[in-house]
Structure 1
Amino acid sequence: MPTEHAPPCHRLTGIGDEAAADLEGQIAAVQALGWSALELRTVNGTAMADLGPAAFRGLVDRLRDARVDVVCLASRIGNWARPVTGSFDDDLAELETLAQQCAVLRCRHVRIMSYPNDGLAEAEWARRVLDRMSRLARVAEQAGITLVHENCAGWAADRADRMLRLVEDTGSPALRLLFDTGNGVPHGYDAYELLEKVLPYVAHVHVKDAVRTGDETVYTLPGEGRARVAACLRLLRESGYSGWLSLEPHLAVRPHKGLRSHGDAPALFVRAGQRLRLLLDAPAAPVPAGDRGSGAGR
């Protein structure tokens, strides 16, 4: 299962359904890059928590045959489709299922978000989010897994102060942060500057890049956009970060936009992975002072 002694910032994986809908295609894509781990979100369009027992057993057997580890399950808990006024029972049920899957897969992390608002006053929105997070963290702690909150959707989506409050108020080692290099571009903030503030709590990383063109976000190969991916990777390396870097290029798949994988997805995924490898292998260079603040592409 996952190796604990790889060099910092060189434990590479990817969200499989960004390369292919089916498990065989997902395995083939990471193996084409020389990697031996996956982050799983959906298989054949079905979310992990919705897989039936037989489908899950088949998935486990195939992964073991391929000698591919699973390092994170990307859940729907608190995401863009689940506002804070929605049913919390759905999230608890999903977490229970994912915790059981993690035990079988020997997977430690479950990706979550922090609930979009639905007309509530700011204080009430915060109160409900923090209450839910505390309850989710208790479940995760008992299951021996860690929830990793992504800077994507919800109350703490794009503000470092709220991310820190989320972790510190919850007070549980079972809640940490997932930093996505590319989310600042579509959401209008500098992800590198956010990373500087939340770095001690980052336990998982997604890698993507993008540029903003008018009202549209166009995703690019890592290092070709405005997300300052190389600078983020350098900061992670210098901090001693030793978690996984998970490729989520969004070149062929964007679930929140309804874009699913197509024929070019495997090749695009592999190209993005190759570019990530080049960024990691490139000699370190200082970040130009004038580069600060450019990440939002505004």
Structure 2
Amino acid sequence: MSSAPERPRPAGIGDEAAPGLDGQLDALRALGWDLLELRTLNGVPVAALPEDAVVRTAARIRDAGATVVAVAAKIGDWSRPATGDFAADVAELDALVRRCALLGTRTVRIMSYPSGGLTAAEWGRTARARVRELARRAEDAGLLLVHENCAGWAGEDADRALDLLAHADSPALRLLFDTGNGVAHGYDGPAMLRRIAPHVAHVHIKDAVRTPGGDTAYVPPGRGEAGVEECLRILAGHGYRGALSIEPHLHLRPHLLARGGDPGRGDVAAFVDYGRRLEELAHRVWSAEGVR
């Protein structure tokens, strides 16, 4: 008799725990996890790290008994509007081909470009054309791009996300769903997830509430307005078996740089507490589905 399928494995975006690799690995070790998502090391994006530094990083991660589940790239993100130079994104993807091979991962997080003041029609044409070209290049290189429901043309709308997939028409493009982004961007996250769940290949876990002043405050998973547990139930119902990667935003909010603000720094203790809370939620949800 075959055993029951396992539930998704927990992971974390390392710089949410600490700027440097030592602290990031310490946080994983404290949680007993072995999946790390890399975004920056000491503030430097993975694609900008010298290749010899990536070689050393990969060795240290392996020696710690961990693996890299994904790289969170800057491609198409809040800092790169659709009016910007597409060459920057192509160059980043080219740099990541070799670095991802060294790190032992093929999954790269992207977004689909803030408008930069373009009309809605031109914004859509530009974003779809750029992502299609990136997907073609990723397919040739053996990478998988996962588009996040965040900044960009297809970030806040299920129809646009599905349109983006259809236009790219590539096995190298799937979706990344972040449970907390709906609160920050003003849409119903669980409703969006119900539409796109079959196409989701990677998940970020965060939770948030809207403040009386209209800002977003981030809170432990399950304690905010994002419907994190409902999202987990939707994923479980669709048989999701990818990673659940925590991105607490309690002490680090990279997008504040766009406003000239202080993004903060990671915090190992808060990261570990956040991970424990995710474990509780995931255990409850997947146990109800009969998954060990």
With normalisation by structure 1, the TM-score equals: 0.91
Q: In 1, Cα distance between the equivalents of 2:238 and 2:10?
A: 17
Question: Aligned match of 1:70 in 68, 71, 94?
Answer: 68
Return the alpha-carbon distance in structure 2 between the equivalents of residues 207 and 149 of structure 1.
15
Tell me what 2:244 maps to. Answer: 245
Aligned counterparts of 1:283 and 1:200: Cα–Cα separation in 2 = 18
Q: Distance in 2 between matches of 1:130 and 1:170?
A: 7
Q: CA RMSD in A?
A: 1.5
Q: Pairwise mapping of residues 215-294 of structure 1 onto structure 2 (< 5 A)?
A: 215-257=214-256, 258-261=262-265, 265-282=267-284
* TM-superposed deviation, 1:135: 0.5
Residue matched to 2:90 = 92
> Does residue 183 of structure 1 match 2:190?
no
Deviation beyond 4 Å, 4+ runs, structure 1? 283-286
* Separation in structure 2 between the aligned mates of residue 255 and residue 149 of structure 1, nearest angstrom: 18
Partner Cα distance (2:234, 2:286) in 1: 10
Going from structure 1 to structure 2, the CA distance change for 1:168 and 1:8 (only over 3 Å counts) comes to farther
Structure 1 residues 66, 219: CA separation in 2 closer, same or farther (over 3 Å shift)?
same
- For the Cα contact (< 8 Å) 2:47–2:95, is it kept in 1? yes
Cα pair distance change 1:56/1:226, threshold 3 Å: same
CA distance in 1, matches of 2:152, 2:88: 17
* Paired residue secondary structure (2:146): strand
Please state whether the residue corresponding to 1:73 is helix, strand or coil.
strand
| Aligned match of 1:145 | 143
| Residue type at the aligned position of 1:261 | R
**How many angstroms does 1:31 deviate by?**
1.4
2:259 corresponds to which residue? none
Does the Cα contact within 8 Å between 2:236 and 2:286 map onto a contact in 1? Answer: no
Alignment partners' CA distance in 2, 1:38 and 1:285: 24
Q: How does 1:128-207 map to 2 (within 5 A)?
A: 128-207=126-205
3-state SS in 1 of match to 2:217: strand
What amino acid does structure 1 have at the position aligned with 2:273?
R
The percentage of aligned residue pairs carrying the same residue is 53
* Residues 188, 6 of structure 1: alpha-carbon distance in 2 compared, 3 angstrom cutoff: same
Q: Deviations over 1:209-257 (max 9, x none)?
A: 0111121211110000011101111110111011111000111110001
Are positions 1:112 and 2:130 aligned together? no
Distance 1:6 1:54, change over 3 A: farther
Query: In 2, distance between residues paired with 1:191 and 1:65?
Result: 38
**SS of match in other structure, 1:38:** strand
* Corresponding position of 1:8: 7
Deviation at 1:106, TM superposition (A): 1.9
What letter matches 1:101 in structure 2? R
SS at structure 2 position matched to 1:86: coil
Counterparts of 2:102 and 2:46, CA distance in 1: 13
2:28 to 16, 27, 30: 30
CA contact (8 A) 2:7 2:286 kept: no
Amino acid corresponding to residue 6 of structure 2 in structure 1: P
Please give the TM-score of this superposition, normalised by the length of structure 2.
0.93
SS state at 1:80 partner:
coil
